[in-house]
Structures are given as C-alpha cells and as structure tokens.
Amino acid sequence: MFLFSFMKSSTEVAKGQPTPSPSEKEAKFLHALANRAITADERGQVDTAIDLYVELIERMLVQVRGVHDPDEQLVLRRRIEGYVKRAEELKVAAAPPSAAPPAVKSKTQSKARTANAALAHVVLDEVLDASPNVQWKDIAGLDDAKQMLQEAIVLPLLRPDLFTGLCAAPKGALLFGPPGTGKTLLAKAVATESKATFFSVTASTLTSKWVGEGEKLVRALFDMARELQPSVIFIDEIDSLLSTRSTGEHDASRRLKNEFFTQLDGIGSSSEDRILVLGATNLPHELDEAMVRRLEKRVYVPLPDIAARTYLIGHLVSSHSHSLTQRDIAAIASATDKYSGSDIMNLCKEAAMGPLRSLGDRLKQARAQDIRPISKADFTDALARVSPSVSADTLRRLTEWNARYGLQKAT
C-alpha cells in the first residue's frame, strides 16, 4: 500500500483519543487497533506497527465515507493524516541505508513535502465527497443511461475478478447531454453503486485558487484516488478544463491538460488499479479529441421523457399541500415536452409560489393554515412564466455527436 509522504502530524496525533464513530462497536475496535499499533511502535516492532497502522488507516478511510457531520469528518481526516505520517516515517526508518536519499537533498525534500501537504489538503477538503449517497432508485427516468453505466462501469468495478482483459472496467467515461438533466446525480450514483470513493473536481478548484499549480494538484488528486480506490474522479464541465488545444493557449493550461493525459494513461498500469475518471459536459464537441479518445464510454443523458416528468412533478409536489389529481399531473407532464429536470424544478417552484401570491397584502399576517393548496391553475400560470432552457439547435448538435461518438444501448 502506498503511503503519502506529504501528510502532517506524527506519533503525538496517533496517540490521541480515537475518533468519534457512529458505531460504538467499530469505535472500540478502532481504539484497540490504534493501541496495538502504538504499542508495537513504542517497542520497536517496526514491521508489525506498519501493518497495524495500514489496517487502521484503511478502516478509518471506510469510516469517513459514512460520516455526514463536517466537524467529525475534519477530525477523522486529521487522525488519518497522523497515522499515515507515522507509518511513512517508520517505512523510511526501516529502509536499508542504500535506499535512503542523500543527506544533501533533505532540505529540498522538506520543502517539497510542505508544498505537497497543502495540495493534499485541497484534495481532502475541497475535492473528496465523503458521502455521495445517491442510488439508481433516487434518479427519475434515464433508464437507458443507468443501464449502460451499470453494465459498462459499476459491475466491472464491483467484480474485477470477472471483468478482466477486454471486459475490464474503463479508465474513463463521459456523461454528455443538455444542462439540467442529472449528469452529476448519475456520477454520484455510479460511485455509490460501485462502493467507490467520490472525488468531485471543478475548473475553479484547479485553476482559480492554485494558479500555476494545477498539474501538481492533478498529481496529488490521482495519488489520493489510488490510495482510496476503488475511486471515481468526477470532473464537472470537463470541457472548460480539457477543451481543444490551440496555438495561443496559455502554458499553464497546456501543462494541466498534459498532466491529465499522463495520469489517465497511467491508470491501469497496475492490475490492481480501480480508478475511473468520469467527465460531464453540455458541450462535448468542444472537448480535445485526445480526451474524447481516453473517455472510452460516452453516455448520452437526454431530456426526461414523459414518464420521468410525471414522476418528477409528482415527487416535487408531494411535500406540499396540493389539489392535483393524477390526471392533472399527467397533463402537466404532457405540457412540459423539451423541459429538462432543472426546468421542471423551476416550474414547480413557480407553481408553489401561486398560493402565497394569492394572499397579496395579507401574506405578512397570514398563518400557515391560511395558505391554500397548490392547484392546476397555479401550474397553468407557471407554464406561461417558465420556458424550456434548452434550444432546438443544442439538442440537434448533441444528438449528432451522440450518433457519432456515443455509446449505444445494447439490443
């Protein structure tokens, strides 16, 4: 197991109280495991201590995925960093003299570790999503897309022993389609269903805050993904990061793209690698062709069909008082052809404002029971206010790109 050399804290952190856990039984086990590791460490039993620290780290990494409280997540991460650092120190101390780096390089290495620690914290704090917790059943419609993702990605990640050779899990995949159709939800569901660690990356994470450090952050991201694999690295609006290269492109942007290509090509170099880079875009035609080639499975995420729209409208109004019948909901769904999931959400929000607007000046003194249920008339008014956000030209271009590059449903 690779242990990061850029984590901070040491034995002092390792000797702290065990991290809070939602499971008392697991907390006691982790406490006992930590005590065994520290005892072996103090007795100079280096190999035993390393093995115990590694087991402890792996169990805590599983634990952190199920923690929802941000403060508890932070405590867990700091504890993990301390154990990782101590295990790395023991590995270095146990290495034969010939394997040790020259003393003259120690100052440079110290600076490198400090720099890498900052990048590691960006990955932990801004990129790692500890609990995506979205399942297929939580997503309305998109049955074809879900089936293709299940067959092409989820099952190979879950059963690498069966999906070998030509059937092995892909290194990269792309979700493309109109905006507001649920691509991010699908990506989270892929991570949840495949029991993978979910990393969510945006252009701002790599470019705005760390100008000139993008390629280093990419390396740190892939290192972390290898440590926590199986992993899904989700890149939203991937076209903004990896668009077609041009002669006038900024050098930092070119280096960032090249690093992505290098890291993607490196996935799978080990038979144990279970890492997927999953991109999402509304503009697939703007992607660099080299990136398109590396994103082997390209799945079109279309606008919701009438069945999905019917379910979504019914689900959204179910938490409010309303007088809609199933026939009313079906009629509204029929009137929302070419609406995205996001458009339907906006439509329902607008309709829900109808009862509040009808109170007029009385709203400030109104009680909750004074607000009437949402009616079909509210949706009629909302349909006049909220229009589809996806143009016919956008749909045409996406359909053409899908016909040329997209993964087609098995017959």
- The predicted-structure confidence for 126-143, as pLDDT tens digits, reads as follows 666 666 788 998 888 888
pLDDT at 370: 87
pLDDT of the residue at 280: 93
Question: Any idea which residue has 């398109």 for tokens?
Answer: 292
Q: Are strands 172-176 and 275-281 parallel, antiparallel or unpaired?
A: parallel
Q: Is the pLDDT of residue 12 over 70?
A: no
For the chain, give the percent of residues with pLDDT over 90.
30
Q: What pLDDT does 223 receive?
A: 83
- With 0-12 CB in 10 A as exposed, 13-18 as middle and 19+ as buried, what is 380? middle
Share of the chain above pLDDT 70, in %: 78
The pLDDT, as a whole number, for residue 279 is 92
- Which tokens is 95 given? 């290495």
Answer positive or negative: Cα dihedral of 44, 50, 56, 57.
positive
Q: Any idea what DSSP says for residue 125?
A: I
b/e per residue 338-347 (b: at least 16 CB within 10 A): ebbbebbbbb
d(CA 165, CA 179): 35
Contact in structure between 268 and 236 (CB atoms under 8 Å): no
Please state the rounded mean pLDDT for residues 45-68: 81
What was the pLDDT predicted at 397? 95
| pLDDT at residue 344, rounded to an integer | 96
**Per-residue H/E/C for 296-355:** CEEEECCCCCHHHHHHHHHHHHCCCCECCCHHHHHHHHHCCCCCCHHHHHHHHHHHHCHH
What burial letters (b/e) apply to 127-156, b meaning 16+ CB within 10 Å? bbbbebebebeebbbbebbbebbbebbbbb
Global pTM reads 0.69
Q: Give the pLDDT confidence score for residue 289 in this predicted structure.
A: 86
Question: Mean of the per-residue pLDDT values for the chain?
Answer: 80
Q: Please give the C-alpha separations between residue 153 and each of 46, 60, 149, 389, in angstroms, as whole numbers.
A: 39, 26, 5, 30
pLDDT higher for 57 or 12? Answer: 57
pLDDT at 82: 79
Residue in the block written with tokens 């979700």: 175
State the average pLDDT over residues 109-124. 52
pLDDT single digits (tens) 370-389:
899 999 999 999 999 999 99
pLDDT at site 246: 63
* pLDDT over 50 (residue 106): no
The domains found in the chain, sorted by start residue, are 11-100 (1.20.58.80), 136-301 (3.40.50.300), 306-389 (1.10.8.60)
**In which band, very low, low, confident or very high, does the pLDDT at 206 lie, cut at 50, 70 and 90?**
confident
Which residue has better confidence, 399 or 272?
399
- pLDDT tens digits, one per residue of 320-367: 999 999 999 999 999 999 999 999 999 999 999 999 999 988 888 888
CA dihedral 153, 156, 157, 159 (to 10 degrees): 150
- 251-266 and 214-227 helices cross at what angle (nearest 10)? 20
Scan for tokens 């809609």, then name that residue.
324
pLDDT of residue 336: 96
Q: Quick one: average pLDDT of 34-51?
A: 87
**Residue 390 in 3-state DSSP?**
coil
5-to-59, 83, 108, 274 alpha-carbon distances in Å: 20, 12, 14, 22
Amino acid 100: pLDDT: 41
Q: What DSSP state is assigned to residue 172?
A: E
pLDDT score for 227:
78
CA-CA distance, 290 to 169, in Å (whole number)? 19
